[in-house]
Amino acid sequence: MDQNMNSTKEGLISGSGAIQHKAYARVGLLGNPSDVYFGKTISFSLANFWASVTLEPSPHLIINPHPIHDLVQFDSLDHLVNRLQSEGYYGGVRLLMSICKLFHKHCKDNNINLSPGNFTLSYDTNIPRQAGLSGSSAIVCAALSCLLDFYKVRHLIKVEVRPNLILSAEKELGIVAGLQDRVAQVYGGLVHMDFSKENMDKLGHGIYTPMDISLLPPLHLIYAENPSDSGKVHSTIRQRWLNGDELVISSMKEVADIAAEGKSAILKKNYQKLAELMNRNFDLRRCMFGDECLGALNIEMVEVARRVGAASKFTGSGGAVVAFCPEGPPQVKRLEDECRKAGFSIQAIQVVPSCLNDVDLKTLSK
């Protein structure tokens, strides 16, 4: 750590006024994707991967492109084409610009006065791309935290509202997503979320209940180096749900109920029940979306875990899987061996504790 940076639960603040915040990757443990359909979910923040954003006071407002993720200089045409095929067209600059715009709008709409002053924003991330780990929203979340501290308005924007602000910045860019990921990243730790229509209509957000991370059993993350695009998966299901498709509506309700059952199972440390619910969650997703939509590579990650008797499901919409080995270390070893054979990466999951500081906690609804 830079000797001039002071560490607090709010992030890092230097003597020169530079502010740095991290936001972590997200794992949807149970209930996803019902967050987009007035359902319930349980998610947690993953310490293995994160995005960081640094804000430094400056004479002009500058958004710094990342030297890798926003590459605009290439060795050749082949280099450019290969780069686009592996990384896509978009880096993080558009995300930083969008959250600046939506933060400004939110403050203006809510009569929150912003003091004058400019800054330079830069970012870094080690979250695998298109792995269903919420890499884009992590950048936006970290940037929002920087803006809250730079303008000293953290106490004026409620914690429950911040996920909506992050999501609105992503929707501005055409990113398809729900609130679940942003809630997990704003709160940190393990969170049960209730997105019932009644709550959403009345409050404008869900009911978010932090849970003790020590209640979780050891979990593992499996991911592919070249996964699918998680931003395209919800499209047909959303339309079918809006059209009143009975299979989608009933299945999505059952997925939401899984999160409610999962909360009880986790509180009781009933890990056998947790394993059953994880598997059922994926089976319902597969029934609704179909194998073609989920993708062979994504399904294989789930099947690799199931072949050794582990419970497994997507962390998000594909690209990574969360696995639980109820039989303990010998089963974990078999899972690691199978993942290596299949060409998948596997890591023991580390869960981030709550990210909320004293100022944040005072903004929470009673």
Quick one: fold of 215-348?
A: Alpha-Beta Plaits (3.30.70)
Q: Where do the structural domains in the chain lie, given as residue ranges?
A: 19-213, 215-348
- Say which residue, 296 or 72, is predicted with more confidence: 296
Cα(361)–Cα(365) distance, integer angstroms: 9
Q: Which residues of 207-217 are buried (b: 16+ CB within 10 A; e: fewer)?
A: bbeebebeebe
**Per-residue H/E/C for 132-193:** CCCHHHHHHHHHHHHHHHHCCCHHHCCHHHHHHHHHHHHHCCCCCCCCHHHHHHHHECEEEE
How much of the chain, in percent, has pLDDT values that exceed 70?
93
Cα(60)–Cα(217) distance, integer angstroms: 48
Q: How sure is the predictor about 23, in pLDDT bands with cuts at 50, 70 and 90?
A: very high
Least confident span in 8-12, 103-107, 124-128, 255-259: 8-12
Check pLDDT > 60 for residue 1: no
| Residue of 35, 124, 181, 360 marked active site | 181
Cα(3)–Cα(14) distance, integer angstroms: 9
Q: What share of the chain is helix, strand, coil (3-state, %, to 5)?
A: 45, 20, 30
Check pLDDT > 90 for residue 109: yes
- DSSP for 33-60, please give it: TGGGGT-EEEEEEEEEEEEEEEEEEESS
- Say which residue, 2 or 241, is predicted with more confidence: 241
- Residues paired with residue 347 on neighbouring β-strands, in sequence order: 221
Least confident span in 55-64, 79-88, 99-108, 222-231: 222-231
For 127, the token pair is 């979250």
The CATH classification of domain 19-213, taken from the options 3.90.199.10, 3.30.930.10, 3.40.50.2300, 3.30.230.10: 3.30.230.10
- Say which residue, 351 or 318, is predicted with more confidence: 351
Please count the residues of the chain. 366
Q: What is the pLDDT of residue 227?
A: 58
Using one digit for the tens of pLDDT, what is the confidence trace for 172-185?
988 878 899 999 99
Q: Catalytic residue at 181?
A: yes
Among all chains, which residue has been given the structure tokens 């992590």?
Answer: 138
Average pLDDT, the chain: 90
Q: What is the pLDDT of residue 4?
A: 47
- DSSP for 292-341, please give it: HHH-HHHHHHHHHHHHTT-EEEESSSSSEEEEE-TT-HHHHHHHHHHHHH
Check pLDDT > 70 for residue 326: yes
Q: What is the mean pLDDT of residues 48-77?
A: 91
Among all chains, which residue has been given the structure tokens 């640094």?
Answer: 54
